[in-house]
Amino acid sequence: MSARLPSSVPILVIGAGVHGLSTAWHLARAGEPPLLLDKTGIGAGASGIACGVIRNNYFQPAMSELMAACVEVWESDPAQLHYHGSGYIALGPPAQESDLIAVHERQQRIGYPSELCLGEEEVAAHMRSLYGDWRATGLTVCLHERAGGYAFNQESMLGLAAKARHAGARIETGVEVTGFDLDDAGAVATVRTSAGEIAAGQVVVAAGPWIPSLWAMLDLPDRIDVRQPDGHVQSDLPMWTYWYLQEGEIAFDPARFVTEDGRSSAVLHVDSDQPLRDDAGRLITREPWGVYFKPDRHSVQGGAQPLRLGHAIDVDPYPTGTVEPGFPDMWCAALSHCLGRFQGARPRYRQVRSGGAGAFTVDNFPVFDYMRPNVFVAADSNHGYKMIAVGREIARVLGGEHSSLLHPFRFERFATGDLHPVSHSPYPWS
């Protein structure tokens, strides 16, 4: 049972995931401690289940610049944020060379530490210098980000909540926002909750995969027109699409998933066009495949291709902990394809509470914007565990400043055609 809530607050934040917690922390630090409400608990949504990969491998300039700022925040307190700055390595076949070259060039320009290897021999040599048992073939491009890495999902959210509380924010869990009353100007006057009504001066909505329901409560459109950069308008597109991210793990001592110098491994992301076989030589697929994996608390964790779920799904209870029947074979075969130490890992696969659903926007990029005169929405299109600096920027915007990092993610882009460039990646997250 939560303590009695105030009838009125200057700032109300909805959602105790990375964006709500980071916003609350930064608002409190700026002397504007908000009330944060979550219907379930801290890290109860996508932030508490995320693989925890923190990378800057984005083809879009605006994403890349925002990620660089996010890594700075992660690096500011690795202990309390449970952050491991072991880096991130993306490897790909010839089809991905141009994208990764462009990403690397931009990272050089913005001072993000990374190196690029091109050609199968150079890539293999780089990987073997890090991992003596590296054995993947056919990879001709490698982007090695020396910053970033991973953090432990639930622990990092608890750490963020502790920081927010320490700075003066009030966090109440078990309180659900059920509706909004709008005034004549379209601003939110009152927030309706399961614990009563609260008048709020400003509201921040950071509801993760639940954003479509909050969006509807704010009476925002569930279908929109999108102007493409060439001027062509695509009409009446659904604002939200759900994808399911398949993830699992193998029981494997993370102390053995280290580089030659004994350091914890970087996150590895491998996209390949090579035939994939299991340890017995049986063909898994001749189609291009992609996986990512990283050390976890007691295991090696990662995932692969997401599944498209559609425009409306039931998010309660939150969908997690399942994969397609072929996923474990494919993911374990891919790990073994890359590193000899994972040979024979398939029997050690286990389907834990990992993987989950995300709500993607109509162009698969975040919307960070005022959607009502006093309601700022953080809808990260499932890019966002790593995006811990978004809350810092939201706090600035609520304080009256302009955020050049958030500006490219305004809702208006769908009407103006000021969209983000699209990469050659088959996935909606690159």
Applying CB under 6 A, which residues contact ligand FAD?
Answer: 14-20, 37-40, 44-47, 49-53, 176-177, 206-210, 214, 245, 247, 355-358, 378, 380, 382-386
The minimum distance between CB 318 and ligand FAD, in angstroms, equals 8
Task: Report residue 204: phi and psi, to 5°.
Answer: -115, 125
- Of the pair 14, 276, the CB lying nearest ligand FAD is at 14
Cα 351 to Cα 110, 299, 301: the distances in Å are 39, 12, 10
- Compute the C-alpha angle 281/287/289, nearest 5°: 85
Beta strands in 275-331 (DSSP E): 276-277, 283-285, 289-295, 299-303, 307-310
The minimum distance between CB 407 and ligand FAD, in angstroms, equals 19
Under DSSP, the state recorded for 2 is P
- Of the pair 134, 385, the CB lying nearest ligand FAD is at 385
The minimum distance between CB 122 and ligand FAD, in angstroms, equals 28
The minimum distance between CB 425 and ligand FAD, in angstroms, equals 15
Q: Is 121 exposed, middle or buried (0-12, 13-18, 19+ CB in 10 A)?
A: exposed
Amino acid making up residue 98? S
- Of the pair 101, 182, the CB lying nearest ligand FAD is at 182
Nearest to 335 by CA among 261, 285, 279, 281: 279
The minimum distance between CB 59 and ligand FAD, in angstroms, equals 16
The minimum distance between CB 52 and ligand FAD, in angstroms, equals 5
Spatial distance between the Cα atoms of 187 and 375, rounded to a whole number of angstroms: 7
Spatial distance between the Cα atoms of 37 and 20, rounded to a whole number of angstroms: 9
- Of the pair 117, 406, the CB lying nearest ligand FAD is at 406
- Of the pair 18, 250, the CB lying nearest ligand FAD is at 18
- Of the pair 92, 248, the CB lying nearest ligand FAD is at 248
Under DSSP, the state recorded for 265 is P
- Of the pair 123, 188, the CB lying nearest ligand FAD is at 188
The minimum distance between CB 286 and ligand FAD, in angstroms, equals 27
Q: Is the separation of the CB atoms in 300 and 335 below 8 Å?
A: yes
Q: How many residues does the chain have?
A: 430
Tokens representing 209 are: 């995969």
The minimum distance between CB 209 and ligand FAD, in angstroms, equals 5
Of the chain, the end-to-end C-alpha distance in Å amounts to: 42
- Of the pair 144, 386, the CB lying nearest ligand FAD is at 386
Spatial distance between the Cα atoms of 421 and 364, rounded to a whole number of angstroms: 11
